[in-house]
Amino acid sequence: MAKKILIVGGVAGGASAAARLRRLDEKAEIIMFERGPFISFANCGLPYYIGGTIKKRENLLLMTPEQFNKRFNIDVRINNEVIKIDRDRKLLEVKDLNSGNSYFENYDKLILSPGAEPSKPPIEGIDSNRIFTLRNLPDMDRIDEFIKRENPKRAVVVGAGYIGLEMAENLRDRGMLVAIVEMTDQVMPVLDREMANLLNQYLQEHSIALWLSDAVSNFRQTDSHLFVGLKSGMELCCDFAVLAIGVKPEVKLAEEAVMEIGSHLGIKVNEYLQTSDPDIYAIGDAIEVKDLVLGNSTLVPLAGPANKQGRMAADNICGKNRKYNGTLGTSILKLFDQTVAITGAGEKALKNTNIDYEKLYIHPANHVGYYPGAKQMHIKMLFSKPQGKILGVQIVGTDGVDRRIDIFAVAIRAGMTVFDLQELDLAYAPPYGSGKDAVNMAGFAASNILDGTVKVVHWNELDNDDFILDVRTKKEFDGNNVPRAINIPLDELRESLELLPKDKVINVYCGVGIRSYIAVRILMQNGFEARNISGGFITYSSLDNKNQLDTPVARQLREEFCLI
């Protein structure tokens, strides 16, 4: 007898599962329910339509219900909301939102792909019609229509995660002044703070005002403006606001059906993506998955994992017994001309484990310097000691970031070490890379640390009485330097060894860490105890964001939102 398979949710995970099921089983009866009016739409593209990069709304509709039905012979029911699961009788109660009538459908197997919903905390005034969230096409349409109708000049984005930063960029592209309010002390909280701080000045250069370490306490609407009250006592004046303070898994159906919910309040699944009911699978933003590096459960609301999970759930229903081993959370963000990417574990997470790890910072160019257009990347890599297993990587830069983060992601999933990175054969031509690619360079630097070729220290590990040596040129040193540091340019070091104390550890820095590495090797072989300060002056400059947020430009941008 043909199986009857019901799918709740028709976007990334649900649509992928439905299509894969049909490819594997031509006889199965497959019904997909979507409470909204659209299926299989490109929700990752929504901010770019608002900003005008994507010109045609229809380009976001990857497939209509009619096309999906014709190609895959799947019964697609839009504007149909599943409101109850009866596990004992294997029935769904469904409400047709057009007619208001409810009906029942039985199933042999059920796939839940309800997604996640934007967080909307109980803040005074949050129901104002000048406050928006962005999850689907109707949300996008409401924002776009408001902009066309009201011609707003100023917008506040609450939250500086992926969606918040993407919305800030696209609202700027639409010609508005934008302010970001973020309750933590950095933008993009998923990053380690010193990497996120690299973005502060860049955002302000693009006329985006920043309020960090502050949170919204209330909203107040007038006929023509929205006032955003902050816990610091500041009140911002704007035309509208976008809430982008994160998402939470939609687990109501599973919870009411007494299915197991995990510690992060997502639906708990096993390695085959089965819930606590073996006939019910769950996928996408609503589920908890295994962190591939740390081994614990986590939430990863990203399109890539959701699509792969949809395919895998379909495989398992059809008897393939495929295991979902976990996710790295590999992600990437475009921010004007900058690119931010991450894979694996960050230091914030590693600090809360028993893993013995080390980190390094390098700042290589995306391709050889003699070829025009070379752009600097900032790379942080975390790895275990002494094995050198790669634990996580974060990159901020312009060109070439996407290519490198994907290489690191593959390396982590393959269980490679930093020693393996040294030997990777990566494509090289002057417009694309270097004979020693940035990935190789990370491997070289980490291997030097682990095999004792060089000792490293990090800026936050130094004490006030530590001896600091700056080996940049005098011109660089005079331009800006670390307090307490003495300057001996690298090319003069061998002739100046008598100026250095033999009874102290010499902590050496340069611009990015390469010249200081050479200096440390010279010092070590001349009887000194020396350490390379990882990442050099660039990393030092990124550790504290207070100066970046208190410049004349930063103050002027903020003043724009304090005036009516």
Q: Which residues are catalytic?
A: 44
CB atoms within 10 A of CB 410: 14
Rounded-to-integer distance, Cα 184 and Cα 401, Å: 25
**DSSP letter assigned to residue 527:** T
* Residue 563 near residue 214, CB atoms below 8 Å: no
Rounded-to-integer distance, Cα 289 and Cα 312, Å: 14
Strands (DSSP E) along 502-558, which ranges? 506-509, 530-533
Antiparallel, parallel or unpaired: β 331-335 and 297-298: unpaired
HEC string of 240-294? EEEECCCEEECCHHHHHCCCCECCCCCECCCCCCECCCCCEEECHHHECEEECCC
> Phi and psi for 366 in degrees, rounded to 5?
-75, -25
**What tokens appear for 464 in the block?**
């006030």
Distances (CA, A) of 37 to 77, 138, 210, 401, 467: 9, 9, 36, 36, 65
Q: Which of 475, 466, 460 is nearest to 535 (CA)?
A: 460
Residue 486, Ramachandran bin (φ over 0: left; ψ between -120 and 50: alpha; else beta): beta
Determine which helix (DSSP H) or strand (DSSP E) holds 56, and give its type and residue range.
Answer: none
CB atoms within 10 A of CB 218: 14
**What tokens appear for 501 in the block?**
């104390």
CA–chain centroid gap for 314, Å, is 27
Rounded-to-integer distance, Cα 370 and Cα 296, Å: 45
What burial letters (b/e) apply to 311-328, b meaning 16+ CB within 10 Å? bbbbbbbbeeeeebebbb
